[in-house]
Structure 1
């Protein structure tokens, strides 16, 4: 058993490199087959041509063989008649006193038109060798002249039944220089004074075999030359078709890259020329539409920016008047006091909306700048939590902060990162239905990731992409407690892209939502993976449930009456994602 195991390992070790080489060759061939239209056309043409050539060669070879054998049989039949007449005449003039074998030898000698080294005779049907056989009886023994052993017994049975017959056979001549190979043997009874005399003519098929070999060789050489010519022709034809397609592909790629002036050259009036004209017409139409959309987008961005700037002056005046009214609201009746409060709140929301519009217009115009600096990302998380604590108190939501013990240093814009986290936390508090909200930070050697997780209403399938659209709301009737403008997540996505990072969302109905912000530790580095998973596990944290042992509970806000408000900070030993 040990010997068998060692032998199998040795065989596997020997053939493994060979198998890998064949696998790599197959992979490369498959890749070339999928990518090259010219290769597929040439290979398909050669394969079909080879099938046609093989079929045609088989048909031609069969026809030539049949015609050669028909001519051979016809000439051999005539020769057999002449030979029988010659033998009967020779035996009729011979003396009976001569021995039987001597008479047969003289008849065979008269039958021969010419002698050769092998004792064969040449006639109109080609060379042949006569054989005379006399069937023995109780008085005399069998007598024969010629190679009687070459005659098949089945043929003799037909001849002994007074039938003229022929049969294919393979003959073997033991004499030096004799013929060995396929032959056709004709047999006939005779009407001589020698009873039971049988005449056989052995016609070798060597010349026919050589003729067929010559025909096969000619067909093979012709097929090889034809395949080479077909390969060259198919390559030339495929090249004429593929080159314009490749040119169109390159031009289409450059057009997609933004080179809107790229056009295909039009040559002639064939199908490729019509394709080029159609492509150019489509490119011209697309170019005009893209230019119009760019101009429209530019006008829209400029209009948004100008309106936002122009509204700041009257808004400042209205703000001063509203603050003046609000300062004296104590002397007003309750209805006017409430009106002044609503006026101030809406002015706050209006100012936030103007700020978001200005920020989004900067991103659209491509003029947003990143004031990056080296800092600890835990500071951004703590600052964002501090800004939303009033929302947590109003909604009775516990915010759980899970930060590493060691500093997470990254090159980021602290204002933008804090704004992203603030927007995510405010969104989680708005839709968390009072259940705990988690913010977690983790880092590896390349990137750092924030996760903001709630256990609220969640997202429907497909909404994880829509949440970043401007002014999009899953439930339009739902009230925003945070006073959001509908642009927060859209601005957050642009801020993440400005850092060369990613902002992603996950959600399920009844299970809440999870947002993940991944940022590179060094500015300009591409983010490949993330230290935290986007989809959380099935483990849940309930209100009032103690945190893991390594976490410390810090309450920096006054708890609400139900004790739900609490802000926890620290690190958890449990590596599983909280949900």
Structure 2
């Protein structure tokens, strides 16, 4: 009997609500962040948007404050008017009630109750400015009789509880005067602002009783609601109109300014014939005219400078090439004299050595001038190949070792580990590093020179650091200027043309790279070369910090 093979079945649970909610949130928040980023970018870029939004916001604030003040004044006026009319009406009704009590001959409790009910009924049905009033009678605290009237509250849904203790105490303290209070009164299921007027009447043999008239301000509340809605609609319309006016005014101002910015961008791109249209005689027309005059002046000066630069470049190129032939002849003669210097007198032999050294410096200067002329003419080109900068650094350090030994400096290489490969022109990169290392040894005052090599995902970097005299404030921006020297009085002992760092900067730019300098007096200086790993790529960051403070 053949054995049966068991088959395992795995059930995959469908995503539940929690997973769907998390997925929704995962897509919702990035969308919201992208929306806010777009709004912020639009806010930063659009002057018109900022002006219109600010004007509408300020207009809304002004409308809100003005509407609130007017609303409060109207509400106060309606409240005062309502209190005056209520006081007059309550005074007349109280006098009428007192007159009826004075004319009443009731002596028993039943008769007094009937008289009180008659008076209350007349109050509720009596014509007047406000037939919606409520009436409440209650035994006065000063009443010392044994007669207690019952069923004194009005037939409406209001009783003595609506009268505050404060008002009752005021009425009891001054029985001969009316007391008025504005408070919220619950009528049915609503809280309605009401005017309560209280006074004291003599209810015959029943003694003094407090009489309260309650006048709801429902009509006033409705009026204020209508006014509030009207203010709201008017405020919104006015804010929109202010925004529209601001948009129109801003458009008239921003459009010429934006046109000036576009013309300026085209001018900066080299289109020197661009001009702004100038119409009218207002301030914007004056701006356009002044801008065009400035553009004319700049165009004239730029063309003049271009002509002078072309003449200068042509002169340097011609002189450099013309010096090649006599320099070759001089080199041949100097070599013959230098080789025969042993047969000369000591002073002549020393002169032959100095002549050979100065001729070497002259040839270096001529070579640098030719290289600079190629950069100026745009004829410099790269011979790209994959190169490990660790090997290039090792060759440069080995070549600079004799100079370092004479200076008493030790050149130390710090590699982060692994190759630092990039697509570069090794000859040019080696020239950059050689200039940096030689300068570090010359200015290091016999202290160690550190060379750091590191690579990142998109870039490779080399930092050459010395611990010598350093750079004074502002000199880091000048070290790459042609023929610039930090100390003009310092004598050159190893040659140099003053063009090495300028050529190095041009070589770095030719690779789309960075060559940057940092230094502090007495702390040394650092030069950082950053190159993209792939030819033609752009740099966004460097694998190595420029200053020591950035290392922490």
The TM-score with structure 1 as length reference comes to 0.73
Corresponding position of 1:357: 369
Q: Does 1:57 align with 2:67?
A: yes
1:280-311: CA deviations, max 9, x gaps?
Answer: 33333233222222222222111111222223
Match for 2:477 among 449, 465, 482?
465
Q: Which among 475, 478, 497 is matched to residue 509 of structure 2?
A: 497
Deviates more, 1:191-200 or 1:40-49: 191-200
Matching residue of 2:346: 334
Check conservation: 1:121, 1:128, Cα contact below 8 A. no
Alignment of 1:224-235 (within 5 A): 224-235=236-247
Q: Residues 80, 497 of structure 1: CA spacing in aligned structure 2 closer, same or farther, 3 A cutoff? A: closer
Match of 1:259 among 258, 271, 279: 271
Q: Secondary structure at the match of 2:315?
A: helix
Q: Distance in 2 between matches of 1:21 and 1:338?
A: 80
**How far off its partner does 1:439 sit?**
5.7
Taking the aligned partners of 2:527 and 2:138, their CA distance within structure 1 comes to 107
Query: Aligned-pair distance for 1:321?
Result: 4.2
2:421–2:460 CA contact under 8 A, matched in 1: no
The match for 1:237 is 249
Secondary structure of 1:122's partner? coil
Does structure 2 retain, via aligned residues, the 8 Å contact 1:75–1:125?
no
Segment drifting more, 288-297 vs 360-369: 288-297
Render the CA deviation track for 1:202-222: whole Å, top value 9, x for unaligned.
433222222222222222222
Q: How does 1:521-536 map to 2 (within 5 A)?
A: 521-530=533-542
Structure 2: state its 5+ residue gaps. Answer: 1-21
Is the contact made by 1:133 and 1:143 (CA closer than 8 Å) also made in structure 2?
no
Structure 2 Cα separation of the partners of residues 66 and 356 of structure 1: 90
Residue in 2 aligned with 1:164?
A: 178
Aligned to 1:223: 235
Partner of 1:123, secondary structure, is coil
Match among 12, 31, 37 for residue 47 of structure 2: 37
CA-to-aligned-CA distance 1:457-478 (integer Å, 9 cap, x gap): 4444443433322222223333
Structure 1 residue 140 and structure 2 residue 147: aligned? yes
The alignment covers a number of residue pairs equal to: 517
Residue of structure 2 equivalent to 1:123: 128
* Alignment pair present for 1:271 and 2:312: no
TM-superposed CA distance for 1:260, in Å, is 2.7
* Alignment partners' CA distance in 2, 1:21 and 1:240: 35
* Structure 2 CA distance for aligned equivalents of residues 531 and 96 of structure 1: 110
- CA distance, structure 2, for counterparts of residue 444 and residue 108 of structure 1: 97
Matched, 1:370 2:359: no
Q: Quote the residue 1:282 is aligned against.
A: 294
Partner residue, 2:358: 346
Give ranges in structure 1 of 5+ residues lacking alignment: 1-12, 113-118, 538-575
SS in 2 for 1:486: coil
* Alpha-carbon distance in 1 for matches of 2:544, 2:137: 103
Deviation at 1:363, TM superposition (A): 0.8
Using the alignment, how far apart are the partners of 1:374 and 1:390 within structure 2?
29
Instruction: Give the deviation of 1:364 after TM superposition.
Output: 1.5
RMSD: 4.4
d(CA) in 2 for partners of 1:238, 1:323: 78
User: Would you say the 8 A contact 1:133–1:199 is kept in 2?
Assistant: yes
For normalisation by structure 2, the TM-score amounts to 0.76
Question: 1:328 Cα shift?
Answer: 4.9
Q: Is the CA contact (8 Å cut-off) linking 1:155 and 1:166 kept in structure 2? A: no
